[in-house]
Amino acid sequence: MHELVRQLFPICRSITGDGVRQTLAILGAYLPELQVHEVPTGTPVLDWHVPREWNIRDGYIKNERGERVVDFRYHNLHVLGYSVPVHGWFTLEEMKPHLHSLPEQPTLIPYRTSYYTETWGFCLSQHQLSALKEPRYEVCIDSSLTEGALTYGELLLPGELAEEVLISCHICHPSLANDNLSAVAVAVFLARHLAQGGHRYSYRFVFAPGTIGAITWLSKNAEAVARIRHGLVLSLLGREGAFTYKKSRRATADVDRALALALREAAVPHHIIDFIPYGYDERQYCSPGFNLPVGCLSRTPYAQFPEYHTSADNLDLVRPGVLADSLLLVQEALAVLDANRRYQNRCPYGEPALGRRGLYGSVGGVAAQPNGQLALLWVLNLSDGQHSLLDIAERAGLPFAQIQRAVQVLIAHDLLDVLPN
């Protein structure tokens, strides 16, 4: 995963443009079935329209000696995202409203965009800004804002069921590693894992620019939307820090409970927070008209770590081990959702005679019973058609995997029927 992050890092992405296309081309090398969609500028999507496409070739501020004192080629954060083209000589005073820095983090370049107000600008470190002392500078942004398209990637991994689990992550940020190449990499490797098969649900991956990308996808996929049963937005999964799971608007959806269970069972530091209508694309999936059961998994959330939206969100910030732990956690939570069925105890009156079936210690020492015994009894007791395995695991306080093993044993002994989905 870290190697993928490294490949993607140098690309200058935005909500449209060739940076997104290059990114999806690289993902396609990992996911041959990935489909790339282009939606033309001006297409109405829900309450929005697909914006003009932005591309950039170069950008700099030169002093009178012709030296680049701010240079897009050095770091693509230097140009304000969606800057319109500009070329000319500006006095320092004229330039200042177009310069963005972080006085409290004077060595870092901030990340800024202006998607919906036409302007241009540069982002630079406070040290760079302070060093600008000459009377005038040559400013150039060689960008274009033209009719074009919005590009997103989509991958469907069919399962036994037509019902879908949605995995979505934003791909619109330029050279920021944790935000959100980390989650893109986790999603790619999750897809490769799931592509090996063995899952009940169909899994749909959406790699799209934030906000407008999710809105575009929602707008054009009414039938897929209707099939979504669970969903996760993935973001910021490569930097060390406690997991943060933000619940869906529904608050008690299965995905909310499965993430809570997986985090608890993983015994890792984590926070579970309530839904708020701010954040990543769960804002769109959880808008009241859709109200999809989609939560958001991060590690330390946006704006809460010092490297957030700065040039310090670089390849060093993202750790291979952290990416691996993140992937594992997502896999475990999805495994819970995938296995979360309801069963019917075929011997609901009294306990079935487990001893006769070899499912009971024959010399009765109650205290020494392992939890395996207890798991059998919990599954039998709650498999009344009302309770899912998540219900049972939560109520029993036993690991989900142990409940699953009990189910296997009981099915093998004809004591359980699986119920329709």
Any contact of residue 100 with a second copy (CB under 8 A)? yes
- Given the rule CB under 8 A, which of 55-63, 228-236, 239-247, 358-366 is the region that contacts a second copy? 358-366
Both structure tokens of 13: 């992405």
Q: Among residues 107 and 119, whose Cβ is nearest to a second copy?
A: 119
Q: Is residue 196 a contact residue for a second copy (CB under 8 A)?
A: no
> In the set 223, 267, 363, 420, which binds a second copy (CB under 8 A)?
363
In the set 29, 268, 353, 412, which binds a second copy (CB under 8 A)? 353
* Binding segment (CB under 8 A) for a second copy, from list 84-92, 264-272, 320-328, 380-388: 380-388
The separation between the first and the last C-alpha atoms of the chain, rounded to the nearest angstrom, is 34
| Footprint of a second copy on 381-420 (CB under 8 A) | 381-384, 396
Is residue 47 a contact point for a second copy (CB under 8 A)?
A: yes
Residue 358 burial (CB < 10 Å; 0-12/13-18/19+)?
A: exposed
Q: Site for a second copy (CB under 8 A): which residue of 161, 273, 377, 411?
A: 377
Q: Is 277 among the residues that bind a second copy (CB under 8 A)?
A: yes
Stretch that binds a second copy, among 55-63, 87-95, 273-281, 315-323 (CB under 8 A): 273-281
Pairing relationship of beta strands 202-208 and 136-146 according to DSSP bridges: unpaired
Residue 303 binds a second copy (CB under 8 A): yes
What is the closest distance, in whole angstroms, from the C-beta atom of residue 363 to a second copy in the complex? 5
Contacting residues for 185 by C-beta, under 8 A, at least 6 apart: 1, 2, 4, 5, 8, 238, 323
Contact residues for 96 (Cβ-Cβ < 8 A; gap 6+)? none
Cα–Cα distance, 296 to 283 (Å, whole number): 10
Binding of a second copy by 116 (CB under 8 A): yes
Binding span for a second copy by CB under 8 A among 63-71, 192-200, 322-330, 354-362: 354-362
The one segment of 32-40, 70-78, 254-262, 347-355 that binds a second copy by CB under 8 A: 347-355
- Measured from the CB atom, is 266 or 377 closer to a second copy? 377
Residue number, 232 or 416, with CB nearest to a second copy: 416
Q: Does 276 bind a second copy (CB under 8 A)?
A: yes
**Taking CB under 8 A as the rule, does residue 267 contact a second copy?**
no
Q: Which is nearer to a second copy, 87 or 356 (CB)?
A: 356
How far apart are alpha carbons 364 and 367 in whole angstroms? 9
Which residues have CB under 8 Å from 229's CB, separation 6+? Answer: 163, 164, 165, 201, 254, 293
Q: Which of 247, 352, 406, 410 binds a second copy (CB under 8 A)?
A: 352
What is the distance between the alpha carbons of residues 345 and 370, in angstroms, rounded to a whole number?
Answer: 22
How do 99-100 and 122-123 pair as beta strands?
Answer: parallel
The piece of 6-14, 194-202, 314-322, 376-384 that touches a second copy (CB under 8 A) is: 376-384
Residues 6+ apart with CB under 8 A from 142: 56, 57, 58, 59, 85, 87
Q: How far is CA 48 from CA 123, 133, 262, in A?
A: 28, 43, 37
For 65, residues 6+ apart whose C-beta sits below 8 A from its C-beta are none
Q: What is the DSSP letter of 79?
A: B
- Give residues with Cβ within 8 angstroms of 403, minimum separation 6: 375, 378, 379, 389, 392, 393, 396
Q: Which stretch binds a second copy (CB under 8 A): 113-121, 201-209, 232-240, 264-272?
A: 113-121
- Measure the CA–CA gap between 51 and 175, rounded to whole angstroms: 22
Number of residues that bind a second copy (CB under 8 A): 63
Contact residues toward a second copy (CB under 8 A) are 46-48, 80, 100, 110, 112-117, 119, 121, 211, 214-215, 218-219, 249, 276-278, 283-284, 286-291, 302-303, 308-309, 345, 347-353, 355-356, 360, 362-367, 369, 373-374, 377-378, 380-384, 396
